[in-house]
């Protein structure tokens, strides 16, 4: 009998299992750019072994390497690490352990993709392994303290909105592929400057730093291990923490608190807040920032239209969703915030805005 290599259990059941689970788990991420000749075979190999260990989370495998964000039963972590290190190109790889474990993943998903991070780049002469200089937390603090250094956040706008490094340039982009083009254009004429980039766990900077070197920028640096590893080193070594706010993460936790600063605001009323939530209208599912007061008033929805929909019987909601493409984890640019505020201040009036499918764009990859 052929072994089942994917999850078939209902999402709600899996979420309940995660919430009710009493065993400690360790959330960890890692990536590696390497030539994988047969990604499908490697994908199946990982799924079989990790499923037996009770591993949960998302992993992408491609010809260019692997990108994983997973949760491992703490008691099985050593066995997991031993298995991982038995794979030649992953032997000794750095594992970024989450600052705040919490409840992160509820199912195991290992997928084959064209690339482990979608970048939109098409250049056969580009070698992603020829990266910029890797900086530890101390080296990062030293170099970015120089006012001539250019510090760039290589994450999306909804990530940097709730937390970023002091003095960082935070492009207003939805995707990594947008940002690579924007950053290259922005840096024209500044080829000799010291450039430092950072992201969540390092994978986007790994590719971006190699791309800038490929395009003629000689002084490119990246924060090794990203914000996750930086935070660990800062706490372990008692260094100055130059990150303010939260570190957005792509799992059920949504963010890790790095400093007590709240630098964002509720998208509906403008009150200080940095808590992301998804609109409870399943057909919308917009990810946005909502304060407790607005969450209570709007009952977890983003607009009057969505609020009216969630009050309908479930069968009516299903009819409205019929034929609508699944829009899980949709992120919108800041241009929608004013619209959300207007709708919030005019609740109950006709013509309230909703989130149209044409307004939406979702990420094609997990980030790290």
Instruction: Provide the annotated active-site residues.
Output: 199
The DSSP code for 341 is H
Beta bridge partners of 183: none
Say if residues 59 and 66 touch (Cβ distance below 8 Å): yes
CA dihedral (309, 311, 312, 314) positive or negative: positive
Indicate the Cα dihedral angle 235, 259, 204, 50, nearest 10°: 70
Beta bridge partners of 152: 169, 197
Say if residues 343 and 352 touch (Cβ distance below 8 Å): yes
Residues in contact with 239: Cβ distance below 8 Å, sequence separation at least 6, in sequence order: 137, 138, 141, 233
3-class secondary-structure state, position 298: helix
Tell me the C-alpha to C-alpha distance, in Å, between residue 81 and each of 72, 91, 93, 160. 10, 9, 10, 31
The DSSP code for 116 is S
The sheet that has 65-73: what strands, in order across it? 96-97, 25-33, 65-73, 56-62, 108-112
The DSSP code for 169 is B
Alpha-carbon distance 129 to 149, whole Å? Answer: 24
């Amino acid at each position: 009998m052929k072994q089942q290599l994917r999850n078939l259990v209902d999402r709600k059941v899996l979420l309940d299992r995660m919430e009710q689970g009493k065993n400690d788990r360790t959330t960890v991420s890692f990536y590696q750019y390497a030539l994988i000749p047969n990604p499908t075979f490697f994908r199946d190999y990982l799924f079989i072994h990790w499923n037996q260990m009770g591993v949960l989370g998302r992993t992408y495998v491609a010809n260019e390497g692997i990108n994983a964000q997973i949760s491992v039963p703490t008691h099985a972590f050593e066995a997991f690490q031993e298995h991982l290190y038995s794979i030649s190109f992953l032997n000794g790889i750095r594992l970024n352990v989450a600052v705040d474990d919490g409840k992160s993943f509820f199912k195991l998903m290992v997928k084959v993709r064209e690339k482990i991070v979608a970048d939109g780049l098409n250049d056969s002469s580009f070698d992603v392994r020829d990266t910029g200089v890797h900086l530890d937390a101390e080296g990062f603090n030293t170099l970015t303290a120089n006012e001539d250094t250019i510090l760039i956040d290589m994450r999306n706008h909804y990530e940097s909105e709730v937390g970023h490094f002091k003095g960082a340039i935070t492009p207003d982009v939805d995707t990594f592929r947008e940002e690579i083009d924007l950053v290259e254009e922005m840096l024209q004429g500044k080829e000799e400057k010291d450039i430092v980039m950072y992201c969540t766990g390092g994978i986007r900077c790994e590719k971006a730093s190699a791309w800038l070197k490929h395009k003629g920028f000689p002084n490119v640096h990246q924060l090794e291990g990203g914000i996750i590893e930086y935070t660990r080193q800062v706490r372990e070594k008692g260094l100055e923490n130059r990150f303010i706010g939260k570190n957005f993460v792509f799992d059920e936790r949504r963010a890790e608190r790095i400093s007590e600063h709240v630098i964002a605001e509720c998208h509906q009323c403008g009150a200080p807040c940095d808590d992301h939530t998804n609109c409870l209208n399943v057909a919308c599912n917009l990810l946005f920032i909502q304060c407790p007061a607005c969450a209570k008033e709007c009952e977890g929805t983003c607009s009057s239209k969505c609020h009216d929909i969630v009050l309908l019987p479930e069968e009516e909601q299903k009819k409205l969703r019929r034929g609508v493409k699944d829009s899980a984890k949709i992120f919108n640019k800041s241009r929608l915030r004013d619209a959300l505020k207007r709708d919030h201040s005019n609740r109950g009036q006709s013509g309230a805005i909703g989130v149209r499918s044409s307004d939406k764009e979702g990420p094609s990859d997990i980030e790290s």
